[in-house]
Amino acid sequence: MKVMDGGICSVKGVRSYGIKPGKMGLAVIVAEGNAAGVFTRNKVIAAPLIVTRDALEKNGKLAAIIANSGNANAFTGEEGLADAREMASILAGKLGVDSDLIGVASTGVIGRKLDVGWIDDNIDEVVCSLTSSPQGNSKAARAIMTTDTVPKMAAVELSSGICIGGIAKGSGMIEPNMGTMLGFVYTDAEVDSDVLDSCLKKAVDKTFNMIVVDGDTSTNDMVLLTATGASEVRPDIDEFQQGLESILTDLAKQIAKDGEGATRLIEAQVRGAVSLEDARLVAKAIVRSPLVKSAIFGKDPNWGRVVAAAGYSGADVDQTKISLAFSNGSDSAVLVDNGKIISEDIEMLGKLSSIMGSPEVIIRVNLDVGDSSATAWGCDLTYDYVRINAEYTT
Amino acid sequence: MKVMDGGICSVKGVRSYGIKPGKMGLAVIVAEGNAAGVFTRNKVIAAPLIVTRDALEKNGKLAAIIANSGNANAFTGEEGLADAREMASILAGKLGVDSDLIGVASTGVIGRKLDVGWIDDNIDEVVCSLTSSPQGNSKAARAIMTTDTVPKMAAVELSSGICIGGIAKGSGMIEPNMGTMLGFVYTDAEVDSDVLDSCLKKAVDKTFNMIVVDGDTSTNDMVLLTATGASEVRPDIDEFQQGLESILTDLAKQIAKDGEGATRLIEAQVRGAVSLEDARLVAKAIVRSPLVKSAIFGKDPNWGRVVAAAGYSGADVDQTKISLAFSNGSDSAVLVDNGKIISEDIEMLGKLSSIMGSPEVIIRVNLDVGDSSATAWGCDLTYDYVRINAEYTT
């Protein structure tokens, strides 16, 4: 597996473009193929998700995606649904395809009527600029940003020559079961839509569903995976799954790292859990805890808060068996060993200081009550998170 | 029911005192009677809770409570358990009672050995100053404070002449199922311990379990209820329950209002839910949401985030039926009516501005899918929450 540049445009046959002249942004991605989607589990579900889910259920295929930022088209009733359908229809008209082959996505403020006129006014500029060059990828990735500070993209080439590439956005309202998170992933592999569906669900559970910024699940999350088949290669499914998970892990970490106000990425690696579910509960509880998150912001290796989070996660935990270390990938400091606190000597304090100052802090927890493991990602809780969310308005 | 001053010391026969010369504080409450307790559901449970739970299980009675602040005696292994037993034994010796009639509570940092020597050195000062005057109540309430900024107390007299009074502490690590929250409640009613137990559980579910500061469940939470019987009145249980819930509601709101860094109290009133559980899920999701909490800090009536929280709470929600209003008790502004957004005219904007500037912001949600209701309390998320928790160290 080789890491590539170019995101979705490194996948044969994918063209894209986007504009973001102000608060509103518009992105279009064109590439026909079998497709699958994963949607928010929030029971208040935004109009574009209904339109896209219907399209996938009907066809198992997508020909293109139209996505806007600046307005979530959520909680907008029948009118919102008509607006989302209108978005599909506008793009379908330009491309000369059926409008039920169009995926529609929106992100931004909730409860405001979408300005479809703006989309209609700007669609030509986007469609005329569609390109398979890397610029197409980065323009589309930027057009869907809201409070994101950087565009998010990833691509790999598998040994069979197949490519998988994706773009994503997401910064606030991120939590297991999808935040205001959009992910558009493409591959030139030949894969049936039911296989895509199961691959995507499995990969999302390990990646996008394991990131937490603030614990708020959005009304608008979706991840779409389209397989164009342009490579004419039917992949080994294990290798394809591995490649897909690698792309989604990469994008998920980019989202966590760009969490609103974040200064560092937190990775919680949990092993020794009784079940996979338990391992995930503990990993997510750690990266969700405001106390752990603000400790990491303060460069404080506050393992007591980590242990407390494990304890209330709902998972089976035996406090006499827990081991815990902080790491930055190169250095590692064990603070609790089998329930016993390791006293901090000068050498360890030096290590801890360098670890806690790193841009990525890894928290390793061994529950030692079983064989399951899981990893979750989050970010620190900072003054800027509060500022961004106290000032951003509906 | 008449609201009284004096907290626990308004209950006949209760004497208390406390000192807090520095980071460590020590409080003692003396009053013998049938007793019941509710403890944290965190699976990492601190040593004093084990000692107190054992005492209650054995006797169904308490003669006194010893509580320290500054060190949680949590995650301290066998040694911590011995230290908690030693605390009980120190007080038992001074009072001349069995040590298994002593409730023990601790709050503060996790994973540090408790300095029992300090407690031994200071117990005489506290025991010699025990008093049934209001000063005893306020000294004890202050001695158990950690990041609390104000002592918390409440008392009522029922029509039968019975008194119920309580003190509490709690500021961070507060969430449903108990935060680093201690509550000590006394009554002079004659009540058996099994009745106390069921009354307390019922009341805690409606009060302390409905407050959220940061969603972190502590290792040390406990609420103890002791009935001295000094009034020689066996109460009408409905009236007693009502009085108890009134005290616990009062204390719970005091804790939420004094949440770390908080500038205002948030009260989420949910009705029209399919079940009580659903109503509680929605109410707690609203006050737990960092996005709602930071919007309230920013005086932003961001109803979209409230609706999103209801949607991901896990409760049955139909977005076409939701109604939502912000209120400060006197003024009220309906922003969503049966799924329809109410456009904000000048009059409403004026009302909203005064509501959002109030020290207590009430969010009223009618799900309109059933008949159950629940109320939860929380506080806004502020720069100071981050500062306090980035700087406070283990």
| Residues in chain B, overall count | 394
Active site residue A180: yes
B174 in contact with A, Cβ within 8 Å: no
The mean pLDDT of B168-182, rounded to a whole number, is: 59
> How do residues B95-120 score in pLDDT, each as one tens digit?
999 999 999 999 988 888 999 999 99
Q: What angle do CA B375, B380, B381 make, to 5 degrees?
A: 135
Instruction: Write a three-state SS string for chain B.
Output: CEEECCHHHHCCCCEEEEECCCCCEEEEEEEEEEEEEEECCCCCCCHHHHHHHHHHHHHCEEEEEEEEEEECCCCCHHHHHHHHHHHHHHHHHHHCCCHHHEEEEEEEECCCCCCHHHHHHHHHHHHHCCECCHHHHHHHHHHCCCCCCCCEEEEEECCCCCEEEEEEECCCCCCCCCCCCEEEEEECCCCCHHHHHHHHHHHHHHCHHHEECCCCCCCCCEEEEEECCCCCCCCCHHHHHHHHHHHHHHHHHHHHHCCCCCCCEEEEEEEEECCHHHHHHHHHHHHHCHHHHHHHHCCCCCHHHHHHHHHHCCCCCCCCCCEEEEECCCCEEEEEECCEECCCCHHHHHHHHHHHCCCEEEEEEECCCCCEEEEEEEECCCHHHHHHHHHCCC
| Closest chain B C-alpha to A297 CA, distance in angstroms | 6
- Distance CA(B192)–CA(B226), nearest Å, equals 10
Q: Which residues of chain B make contact with A72, given a CB cutoff of 8 A?
A: 304
| Closest chain A C-alpha to B159 CA, distance in angstroms | 40
Res B216 pLDDT > 60: no
Residue A128: the pLDDT is: 96
A58 in contact with B, Cβ within 8 Å: no
> How do residues A102-129 score in pLDDT, each as one tens digit?
999 999 888 889 999 999 999 999 999 9
ipTM above 0.90, yes or no: no
B146 annotated ligand binder: yes
A157 annotated ligand binder: no
- Distance CA(A267)–CA(A359), nearest Å, equals 11
Question: Least CB-CB distance to A109: which of B288, B304, B385?
Answer: B304
Q: Which of A52, A107, A147, A180 is catalytic?
A: A180
B190 annotated ligand binder: no
Q: Which percentage of chain B shows pLDDT scores above 90?
A: 66
Q: Which percentage of chain A shows pLDDT scores above 90?
A: 66
Res B217 pLDDT > 60: no
Residue B66: the pLDDT is: 97
Q: Which residue has the higher pLDDT, B209 or A178?
A: B209
Q: Is residue B137 packed enough to be buried (19+ CB in 10 Å), middle (13-18) or exposed (0-12)?
A: buried
| Closest chain A C-alpha to B145 CA, distance in angstroms | 18
B107 in contact with A, Cβ within 8 Å: no
Q: Which of A351-360, B67-76, B217-226 is least confident?
A: B217-226
Q: Which percentage of chain B shows pLDDT scores above 70?
A: 95
- Distance CA(A202)–CA(B271), nearest Å, equals 37
Q: Which residues of chain A make contact with B340, given a CB cutoff of 8 A?
A: 77
What's the mean pLDDT when you consider all of chain A?
90
- Domains of chain B (ranges; CATH) run 2-255 (3.60.70.12), 265-391 (3.10.20.340)
Q: Which of B276, B311, B301, B314 is nearest to B358 (CA)?
A: B301
Q: Which residues of chain B make contact with A341, given a CB cutoff of 8 A?
A: 75, 111
Res A178 pLDDT > 50: no
Q: Which residue has the higher pLDDT, A55 or B176?
A: A55
Q: How confident is the model at residue A177 (pLDDT cuts 50, 70, 90)?
A: very low
Q: Which residues of chain B make contact with A320, given a CB cutoff of 8 A?
A: 77
Res B232 pLDDT > 80: yes
Best mutation site among B39, B40, B41, B43 for testing chain A: the one with the most A CBs within 10 Å?
A: B43
Residue B394: the pLDDT is: 44
Res A242 pLDDT > 70: yes
